[in-house]
Structure 1
Amino acid sequence: MANAFRRRVRLHWSVAITAAAMAFFCAGCDSHPAAVDASAAAPSASVPAPKAAPEAGTVPLSEAVDPKSFSTSGPLVAEQQADIAAERNGRIVSIDVRIGDHVKTGQLLAQLDDRTLRSACESQRARMASVQAQLLEWQSEQQTAEADLRRAEAMRDAKIISEENWEHAKYRVDETIAEVTRFREEAAAADADLGTAKLQLEQSRIVAPFAGVVGRSSVRPAQEVKPGDVLFWITAEAPLQVLFTVPETAMGAFITGKPLELTTADYPGLHQPGRIVRVSPVVDPASGSIQVIGGVVHPSPLLKPGMTMQVRLAP
């Protein structure tokens, strides 16, 4: 039994020693890949980081635009363009212009039914005349009453009339002053009402605010309109301007006063001179560009507002 016990103890010790040796060997094996990884990572630390991509809407300096060869396009616009809208409710009774017609400042474009307003104006004029006549009458009464009061005061001082008679003359003056004040207020109110009626009557006439050409018309006979309804679109024909943008990398060449060359596919043989009249002081960060306005010098009669023009710096 003792020998058997000793054999089991020796067996347990040999197993333990073998397990410890295998653990040590495995630990040694695991340490080698770590060293290899460290040595492999060392060279990668010296590799330069990739360059960041340029932000959207910007142009790298290496891709700067050559202003001499740069060209862009933009629309022709007139300095004066406007939608002509109704200013009051009403019914269209006449249309005096059509698309393409040239108009002058103040020229009648369309007419609303104004019969009721004309009647109201005449009524207000009659009221105004009546009030003014009564005002003049009471002003005359006031002058007479004041003259009578001055005489009554002199007679009272001379003991010719009683205090009661003087007070009657004084009361008459106060009465005429009150009536003059009342009719002056009525005259002011009548004048204001007449002004309102005249304004409404004037708003019945749809007129051109400046000289130009009728570009659009959205009105028809007997149409019922309300304030804000757009009836016409008018544009001036001159002066003309061209609106365009240039990239930030070329903006140094586009300065106020620089000459431009304008062309259009509609008329290939046309070379229209222009000149930069205004440059935006800020760069649009979304597109990396600036807004430029060019003036058209002695525009050709072929050019019309709304046309698209090719733009480049003049050689």
Structure 2
Amino acid sequence: MPAAAVAPAKAAPEPQPTAEAADPKSFSTTGPLVAEQQADIAAERAGRIVSIDVRIGDRVKKGQILAQLDDRALRSACDSQKARMASAQAQLREWQAEQLTAEADLRRADAMRENKIISEENWEHAKYRVDETIDEVARFREEASASEADLSTANLQLEQSRIVAPFAGVVGRSTVRPAQEVKPGDVLFWITAEAPLQVLFTVPETSMAAFATGKPLDLTTADYPGLHQSGRIARVSPVVDPASGSVQVIGSVVHPSPLLKPGMTMQVRLAP
């Protein structure tokens, strides 16, 4: 699949006051629409892409597979580790049963030794048998634990072979192609949620008192001249940028129109 470049959300530009900027109600500026959730989806392990299941513009659900790495060797490794673990667990159970039998024999040997019924050599044989089973139980318990840990590692790598969507949204960018060799950290997709939407903008220090949290906003865009979208100020930075004399503001878009898309530039002013 050819790579398609979709620019990520733009940083909020410097405010562009109108001629009547002295009146906060008439002040306007611009800022980008952003989704609360958006993320670069990167490969978690090295491998070769064997399938690509989505294209730019596709809507995806959380956990949906976006692409698949070649996992044949890992599947074989998982099967091998499962067999190794099953064998170790079976051997462990057998030796645990042997240990119980040997311990019972030793208890009888202890009583017979005390009553001078068996020789010291026979008692030592019974004692050696218990020690032997204890050692074998410990060995196969360790083997079972090691094989279980190796299986968990192989399963994790197998899971990492599936590139999945971390949340529901839209595929905004794809840089993956069939048979591509990737390494950990290579960004393959950019996913953005469609809602909720926010608009990021700045206002000059002289107007920031009017842009308080909760104030209604009127949002417009040159893409759809007749559209007036309602918004509300969600957060205002407590810090004034000394370089520009402006304050960062985040507005929530109220019941966004389906025409609005993350990345669009909005004209922002206080609602009358």
Return the TM-score normalized by structure 1.
0.78
Q: Alignment partner for residue 96 of structure 2, among 139, 147, 158?
A: 139
Match of 2:57 in 1: 100
Alpha carbon RMSD of aligned pairs, Å? 1.6
Match of 2:182 in 1: 225
Match of 1:164 in 2: 121
What does 1:262-277 correspond to in 2, within 5 Å? 262-277=219-234
Match of 1:112 in 2: 69
Does the residue aligned with 2:68 lie in a helix, a strand or coil? strand
Task: Say whether residues 1:303 and 2:260 are aligned partners.
Answer: yes
Q: Shift in Å at residue 165 of structure 1?
A: 2.6
Does the residue aligned with 1:286 lie in a helix, a strand or coil? coil
Match of 1:44 in 2: none
Match of 2:164 in 1: 207
**Does structure 2 conserve the Cα–Cα contact (< 8 Å) formed by 1:121 and 1:197?**
yes
Q: Alignment partner for residue 148 of structure 2, among 185, 188, 191?
A: 191
Match of 1:128 in 2: 85
The Cα offsets for residues 4-27 of structure 1, whole Å up to 9 and x where unpaired, read as: xxxxxxxxxxxxxxxxxxxxxxxx
Which stretches in structure 2 are left out of the alignment for 5+ residues? 1-13, 15-19
Residue identity in the other structure for 2:255: H
Does the residue aligned with 1:213 lie in a helix, a strand or coil? strand
Task: Say whether residues 1:238 and 2:195 are aligned partners.
Answer: yes
Q: Shift in Å at residue 163 of structure 1?
A: 3.4
Q: CA separation in 2, counterparts of 1:205 and 1:196? A: 15
Which stretches in structure 1 are left out of the alignment for 5+ residues? 1-56, 58-62
Does the residue aligned with 1:280 lie in a helix, a strand or coil? strand
- Determine which structure has the larger helix proportion and give its number: 1
Residue identity in the other structure for 1:157: E
Q: CA separation in 2, counterparts of 1:129 and 1:146? A: 26
Does the residue aligned with 1:132 lie in a helix, a strand or coil? helix
- Determine which structure has the larger strand proportion and give its number: 2
Instruction: Name the % identity.
Output: 87
The Cα offsets for residues 126-159 of structure 1, whole Å up to 9 and x where unpaired, read as: 1111111111111111111111112222222333
Task: Say whether residues 1:282 and 2:226 are aligned partners.
Answer: no
Residue identity in the other structure for 2:137: V
**Which is higher, the Rg of structure 1 or of structure 2?**
1
Q: CA separation in 2, counterparts of 1:255 and 1:167? A: 88
| Larger RCO, structure (CA 8 Å, separation 6 or more) | 2
Return the TM-score normalized by structure 2.
0.89
**Does structure 2 conserve the Cα–Cα contact (< 8 Å) formed by 1:64 and 1:249?**
no
The Cα offsets for residues 182-228 of structure 1, whole Å up to 9 and x where unpaired, read as: 11111111111111111111111111111000001111111111111
What does 1:23-172 correspond to in 2, within 5 Å? 65-172=22-129
**Does structure 1 conserve the Cα–Cα contact (< 8 Å) formed by 2:21 and 2:27?**
no
**Does structure 2 conserve the Cα–Cα contact (< 8 Å) formed by 1:89 and 1:227?**
yes
